Amino acid sequence: MTLEGRLVDWFRSNRRDLPWRRQRTPYTTWVSEIMLQQTTVDVVVPRFVAFLRRFPDIQSLASAEEEDVVAAWSGLGYYRRARGLRLGARAVVERFGGTIPSDEKDLLSLPGVGPYTAAAIRSLAFDQPAPAIDGNVARVAARLFADDGDVGKAGTRRRLRERLVPHVPEGGAAAFSEALIELGALVCRPKSARCDACPVADLCAARLTGRVATLPVRQPPRRSRPVLSARAWVERGCRVLLVQRPADASLLPGFLELPGRWGPAGENPPDVVREVLENLGFDDVRTYEPVAEARHAITHHRIRSVAVRADVVGAAPGGCRFVPWDEVDLERVTTETRKLLRSREASV
């Protein structure tokens, strides 16, 4: 049987039951593909279901407030994706009469839709012969064709796509595209390729030349650096002091957090907290002992967060405010601060 025939057959009997496969529409495809960018399936599944409940169609998403869409994205990371999705929905309503386009150029004109997502929507939702090359498929194809180009480079991905396109079966573009993704996710794994379970192992050039373990080629990732994040824990009655990150911050714009800043690992948290509170405009800052600690990671940074209890005199200056505990909206708080709040809660 042909390569494509075996892949599609394998997919038919091995495909996972995932919510976006149950109701395959351009909208569900779009939302799920954006959520799945750099994000694992297990994390996405519950968030996808909740998001679809909250924004069941493109009109509801287009008319939603940005902060509500971002809140629905809470914990998924890469929040630009949420803002792009909402802007994209508005663009679809305004420019395409509310119908998600199937044309590649039209799709690429939507914010957050790049080569992968455009191909995914075209193939999965419209059955067009556009194999979607994500990390999984790049790995599968690099091994299948024994291509030793850097799969992180656009040129390599283009070449792999051109090698795959001739295999797209007539009337089976969606199954072919998704089968490649699924094979990469379930069988042709980065570390342990389960070639014994692979339907195309005997056609795989990497397998035939003993290079499965060394393909695909990719640039080594950058090293992560340790960071100390010192946070102020200021309570007043049943309220806690929070600041809102600037709307134009590149990292987590608009999110609420405990006042503080990142710094080198050697800094003294109480000193940093004092400095931060004084810079906010508070007088008579007193710091006490650390009350919560958490570990977090943001691309290339390993963060050790320490919350230091402090007292201040005077009203909250602009940009920060005392929020009643029962009104702290965890969906609008950074994950780092959420971890600190939870850690404190757990130890009380």
Partner DNA sequence: GACGCGTGGCC
Partner DNA sequence: TGGCCAAGCGT
Hey, which residues between 276 and 295 contact DNA (CB under 7 A)? 295
* Contact predicate 131/119, CB 8 Å: yes
Residue 269: asked if its preceding bond is cis (omega within 30°), the reply is no
Q: Choose, by CB under 7 A, the member of 46, 56, 98, 190 that binds DNA.
A: 190
Q: What is the DSSP string of 235-287?
A: EETTEEEEEEPPTT-SSSTT-EE-SEEEE-TTS-HHHHHHHHHHHHT-EEEEE
Work out whether 266 is an interface residue with DNA (CB under 7 A). Answer: no
Respond yes or no: is residue 336 known to be catalytic.
no
Instruction: Compare residues 215 and 312 and give the one whose CB is closer to DNA.
Output: 215
Cα torsion 327, 333, 339, 343 to 10°: value is -20
Applying CB under 7 A, among 170, 222, 289, 326 the residue interacting with DNA is 222
Q: Does 213 bind DNA (CB under 7 A)?
A: no
For DNA, the binding residue among 5, 6, 9, 39 (CB under 7 A) is 39
Helices 3-14, 173-186: crossing angle, 10 deg rounding: 70
Q: Which of residues 319-338 bind DNA (CB under 7 A)?
A: 334-336
Catalytic hit among 4, 33, 178, 336: 33
Q: What residues numbered 136-175 form the site for DNA, per CB under 7 A?
A: 136, 139, 153-155
Confirm or reject binding of residue 75 to DNA (CB under 7 A): yes
319-346 CB burial, b ≥16 within 10 A, e <16: ebeebeeeebeeebbbbbbbbbbebbee
Which of 100, 160, 185, 316 forms a contact with DNA (CB under 7 A)? 185
User: Pairing relation of β-strands 320-324 and 301-313?
Assistant: unpaired
Residues serving a catalytic function are 33
Provide the binding-site residues for DNA, judged by CB under 7 A: 18, 32-33, 36-43, 75-80, 84, 111-118, 120, 134-136, 139, 153-155, 181-182, 184-185, 189-191, 219-224, 226, 250-252, 295-300, 302, 334-336
